[in-house]
Chain A
Amino acid sequence: MKEFKDKTAVITGATTGLGPALAKRCLEEGMKVVIADGDAQALSQVENELKKTGTSIISVVTDVSDPKQVEALTKKTRDTYGAIHLLFNNATKGLQKSILKTTMTEWEDIIGVNLWGAVNCMRIFIPIMLDQREDCHIVNVASIAGVICGLPENAGLSLTNHAIVSISEVLDGEMGLVGSKIKISVVCPSYLNLGLENHSADAGDVISYRALMNVIVKDPSIETIMERIFNGIKKGRLYIFPDAVDTHVYVRELVQTRLDTVIKSL
């Protein structure tokens, strides 16, 4: 998808993480924007703020773990703006807790939003996008927790991010196989609030991760992150590591460490 002007973008989890910045950038690109989130109050606040950037924006309160609400989201989008071109599956929850302390409700919540949310949206948006036969793009927002080893105290995030990366790989292949005009990307930022800073134990590559976090202290600006994500969309990239320039060596090292552990066992 190379042209954005006058096309329609939907952003889930629009009030947290990259959500507000993605919506703002879409407006700046002259897009019609639909922001969705489960938190009605936060969504309303974000919408008001975004109206300072552009007026082609509506909001739809949506809990993406509920397929019916996702159906309602697509209906409202099509009724208001017509065709849907760009979907950002950005709704993500984090959970900093050990596996044994995590309650069933917490498991269901994080898997509900992070995994089911993206799957529900893709299951409902893809047939619509396929019918449209126009250039479309689905961007799944994960993080490097989806490509490095499972992280202690963050199992929920790790397992759901890994699932999303794999599903994105499959979908990329399937969309190509049927010659569809839908492109798939998975965005893996490095900056994550994982609460690992206070860990004193030596857990191998977790230490490397902490070194990585120190590097990230000099964060790229959010506008820079947006620029890179949108360039990645324009270039049709499957993997978008939006802060790779700043963290390339460390991320690569962490992925390599995981690979080494696996191959050594063979």
Chain B
Amino acid sequence: MRMKEFNGKVAVITGAGSGIGLSLANLCATEGMKVVLADINEENISLAKKSLVDKGAEAISVVTDVTKPEAVDNLAQEAFKAFGEVHLLFNNAGIIWQKPFWESTLTDWALMINVNIFGVINGIRAFVPRMLDQKTEGRVINTASLAGLTYGEVENSAYYGTKSAVVALSEALDRELRIIDANVGVSIVIPTLVATALVTPKGEVELKSKEKVNNMFQAGAHPNDVAKGILKGIRDDKLFIFPDGNLVTSFMITTRSRGQFKGIRQSKSLGK
């Protein structure tokens, strides 16, 4: 189910206050879409909305904590009230921390599980039934990560765990919607490395992770290029969208699968 025409349609973006979300908001507006910006940071999306409106776009901003079902329900209500329909739902809000497992606290884990997993579940629950009822073409685009498909990296137990969960959840949704021949499709965005700060709700940047990550590679992809890659992936009806993928991406994913193949093969020698 190809969605080619974005002009005049409505996009809802969580985590729209910065990074990929902000770039998506700007790009969708440029494509002639009406944009609903959602984020936990009121100032960021207020500014972003104002900037879009100043450029002649139709946009609203709704402060939303994606971990709270009522808040996401409210976001949906505001979106449908303002624009009548929703065509692209970007469950994009995400969080990261990096530390050894035994140093992680309950709060650390609650943050990751609630934002990265429940944030997506809440978005799906609040929007998809109505998107299905619309009977127009629609799409749910969940921002996962390469961490959702590659071998778990040390100090990243919750990030790889929650992002792997998002990929599996999105695949299941995709299949369920195909089975009922739905007008709504699914895309899973797999960024490799993007030059943004994944921020904590307090707005503090996880500097440690950003520095470490920038030391390994020269520079992350620009979120504007990532947003372009995402929209292209939607046009191409892709289940998996790799907006900044390259040979390294494919190598890392294949290596992980090889490890699992080896695990399957070796398990044959476990007796009887």
Question: Which residues of A pack against B, CB within 8 Å?
Answer: 67, 98-100, 104, 107, 111, 115-116, 119, 122-123, 126-127, 130, 147, 149-155, 158-174, 177-178, 199, 201, 203-204, 206, 220, 224, 227-229, 231-232, 235, 237-242, 244-245, 248, 251-252, 255-256, 258-259, 261-263, 265-266
Contacts and interface: CB of A to CB of B under 8 A. Distances in A.
Given A100-B128, A150-B171, A164-B161, A262 B253 contact: yes
A216 B166 CA distance: 28
Given A147-B260, A167-B161, A239 B154 contact: no
B70 to A, nearest CB: 10
A252 B264 contact: yes
Interface of B: 69, 100-102, 104, 106, 109, 113, 117-118, 121, 124-125, 128-129, 147, 149, 151-158, 160-176, 178-179, 233, 238-242, 245, 249-250, 253-254, 257, 259-268, 270-272
A149 to B, nearest CB: 5
B270 A259 contact: no
B161 A155 contact: no
**Most chain B CB within a 10 A radius of its CB, from A150, A220, A227:** A150
B8 to A, nearest CB: 27
Given A173-B152, A255-B264, A127 B102 contact: yes
Contacts of B165: 115, 159-160, 162-163
Nearest to A241: B267
Tell me whether chain A's interface is mostly helix, strand or loop, or mixed: helix
A122 B241 CA distance: 34
A248 B268 contact: yes
A6 to B, nearest CB: 23
Given A155-B169, A159-B165, A242 B253 contact: no
23 contacts: A98-B176, A99-B173, A100-B128, A111-B117, A115-B161, A126-B102, A149-B172, A152-B179, A162-B168, A163-B117, A168-B152, A174-B101, A174-B154, A178-B100, A203-B178, A204-B175, A231-B271, A239-B264, A240-B263, A240-B267, A241-B267, A244-B268, A245-B270
A169 B173 CA distance: 25
Nearest to A239: B263
B267 A173 contact: no
Given A111-B117, A152-B176, A159-B168, A170 B160 contact: yes
A255 B257 CA distance: 7
Contact of A116 (B113, B178, B245): B113
Contact of A248 (B154, B238, B264): B264
Nearest to B263: A239
